[in-house]
A and B are shown apart, each in its own frame.
Chain A
Amino acid sequence: MSVIVLIDDNDDLIEIFTLFLSMKGHTIHSAPGGREGIELLKTVYPDLILLDIMMPGMDGWETLCAIKQDPATRALAVSMCSGKLPDLKEINLYGKDIEDYLIKPQELPELSDTLVSIIERFTKYRAEIENLQNNNPGNHLIDEFYNSQKILYILEKFSRFFTSDSQEIESEIHRYKARIQEIQDSCRYPSIPGLSEPQPGK
């Protein structure tokens, strides 16, 4: 069972998510905004942060940047959870810093499973990266390799929404794939389990 932090400005949503996730045995902490969330993370060390984007004051992307800039919280797993679709700019900019991007409304009975699978995937590849970094100290390609896979995962997950942008998205996907293949060919790094075949849509 996991420790999960919810950051969302909608009280009812916090309540209902907390209820469902608690029923599945998770420990839930919540904050009604980005600033409160950052404050909460000084005392709580969660397995996953579920982060809303459109919030008054400090929004989700700003909160994400704050989390990733602070050495104390940098290694935490964050998944965005928003009613807003990501655009190409956002994916390229923040894709490497998030483990997933969930679109509301989520099916509540399956929410726990969804979050657990994100946590499992994260835990696995975190261990993988640490192992690789220990064996190849100072190799910057390791980060690029995994960051590219994370961005590619989000790109492929949302590619169907970009109907008229499909060419641009396709070429981005192609670019990341080629880069990943290039690094893989030269370094033989294992790919992130679960990221190569994303679940379609939400």
Chain B
Amino acid sequence: MTEKIRILVIEDEALVADDMREMLNGIGYAVPGVADTGEGAIALAAVHHPDLVLMDINLSGTMDGITAGGEIRSRWGIPIIYITAFATQAIIDRAKKTTPSGYILKPFNERQIQTAIEIALYNAAIERQLKERDETIRALLNAVPDDLVLINSERKIIAINESMAKKLGLMPAALIGRKIGDFLTSSVLSGMLDRAITSPVTGRPTYFEEELNNRWFETQVHTVADRTGTDMRIVIQSHDITDRKRLEETLKQEGISQIGQNMEKFQILNDQIRNPLQVIRGYLALDHTKYSDAINKQVGMIDNLVTQLDMGWLESEKVQQFFLKHRPVFNQSLDEQQTEGDLP
């Protein structure tokens, strides 16, 4: 058997309070405390953290039940059921603002109070689940270092993480329901959203890379159909790939200089090969045999091969020069990298 539901009874008439405690115990609830003032109610709630509070509106002391109920509800999220013998519209309006879980008029019977409590507890459980789900979604949204935003086919923001909201300069809550188009700076992304919204859902995300404010981003647009299949949701996820880009450039650069170094080795090697060729050719010229022409021909073939390697070297230098000359942006980012030192 699970633990009993614990309910606080706040009532300034001692007899009524006793009746209520008995009734609740009879139904099967526990009553960990009874108070007859608003201050007393808050003190009990702080100690017991009950599952529910039955709150009389008229209490002894200066604080009435609505004030105490509002306080308990906002501090601990505990559901409140107000009980009163009379209800003017003004009182109901005040009570409404504290989002009560129920409102019972005296005199009441056991059946009424049990129904009200059960509905209130059920609603409280649902509310808690929703809140947990919100928390989970929020945690998921913010766990990724990427910028994330979910929109519907009307381009309204349904969910957004803190990273993305920060870039847009507003709190996430302030952005929900706003049109994404009011904030986009990337024309590429605008175009992709247009296409995503007008095309059927394929389930395949589309990617693009873009440089914005000296940083590189890989952005993914993923369209998903909603459960009814009548509307769609679009997830926009943007990943900062600046470091990766820089690393790629560095590797490319290292590759180029590696080729250059290899070719330089070729150059030295070629000289080393041609020297013995020269000597062979010399001895052949000195002492002509019937094989001289054949050997000379082979020497010529080796020499041609070496010449081809030489030309490769000259070309590689040209490629190298070309890369270095046409990469001013890259050179600049290398400088930044050195000052920032943020490359892994």
Name A's B-contacting residues (CB within 8 A): 10, 12-13, 16-17, 19-20, 53-54, 82-85, 87-88, 103-109, 161-165, 168
> Bound complex: CA of A124 vs CA of B272, how far in Å?
35
Tell me the minimal C-beta distance from B273 to chain A in angstroms.
7
Interface string of B261-276 (1 = CB under 8 A from A): 0000001101111111
* 29 cross-chain CB contacts under 8 A: A10-B275, A12-B279, A12-B282, A13-B282, A16-B282, A17-B282, A19-B282, A53-B271, A83-B275, A83-B277, A83-B278, A84-B271, A84-B274, A84-B310, A87-B313, A87-B314, A88-B314, A104-B271, A104-B274, A105-B299, A105-B303, A106-B281, A108-B286, A109-B285, A161-B307, A163-B315, A165-B314, A165-B315, A168-B318
B272 contacts which chain A residues (CB < 8 A)? 54, 83
A16 to B272, CA, bound (A): 17
Is B275 within 8 A of A87, CB to CB? no
Q: Report B's interface with A, CB cutoff 8 A.
A: 267-268, 270-283, 285-286, 299, 303, 306-307, 310-311, 313-315, 317-318
Q: Nearest chain A CB to B285's CB is how many angstroms away?
A: 4
Q: Is the beta-carbon distance between B282 and A108 smaller than 8 angstroms?
A: yes
A161 to B72, CA, bound (A): 90
Interface residues of chain B: helix, strand, loop or mixed (majority)? helix
**A165 to B312 Cα, complex, angstroms:** 11
Question: In whole Å, how far is A46's beta carbon from the nearest beta carbon of chain B?
Answer: 20
Name the CB-closest residue of B to A165.
B318
Would B282 and A85 count as touching, CB distance under 8 A? Answer: no
Chain A residues within an 8 Å CB radius of B274? 82-84, 103-105
> Is there contact, CB below 8 Å, between A16 and B283?
yes
* Shortest Cβ gap from A98 to chain B (Å): 17
Q: How many angstroms between the C-alpha atoms of A105 and B276 in the bound complex?
A: 8
- Taking a contact as CB atoms under 8 Å apart, the answer to whether B270 and A83 are in contact is yes
A12 neighbours in B (Cβ, 8 Å):
276, 279, 282
Residues of B within 8 A of A84 (CB): 267-268, 270-271, 274, 310
Could you say which of A88, A162, A164 has the most chain B C-beta atoms within 10 Å of its C-beta?
A164
B286 x A16 contact (CB < 8 A): yes
Contact A87 B317 (CB under 8 A): yes
The distance in angstroms between the C-alpha atoms of A88 and B274, with both chains bound, is: 21
- What residues of B have a CB within 8 angstroms of the CB of A16 in the complex? 278-279, 282-283, 286
Q: A53 to chain B: which residues have CB within 8 Å?
A: 271
Q: Are B279 and A161 in contact (CB under 8 A)?
A: no
Given A84-B270, A85-B314, 11 other A-B contacts at CB below 8 A?
Answer: A12-B279, A13-B278, A17-B282, A19-B286, A84-B271, A85-B313, A105-B278, A105-B280, A106-B278, A106-B281, A162-B311
Contact B277 A104, beta carbon cutoff 8 Å? yes
**Least distance between B167 CB and chain A CB atoms (Å):** 46
What's the nearest-Cβ distance from chain A to residue B270, in Å?
Answer: 6
Residues of chain A within 8 A of B281, CB atoms compared = 105-108
Q: How far is the CA of A54 from the CA of B268 in the complex (A)?
A: 7
Query: In the complex, what residue of chain A is closest to B316 when comparing beta carbons?
Result: A164
A13-B307 Cα distance, complex, nearest whole Å: 20
Q: Is the CB of A105 within 8 A of B277?
A: yes
**Docked pose: A54 CA to B276 CA in angstroms:** 14
Complex contact A83–B282 (CB within 8 A): no
Chain A residues with CB under 8 A of B303: 105
- How close is B286's CB to chain A, nearest CB, in angstroms? 7
| A87–B271 CA distance with the chains assembled, in angstroms | 14
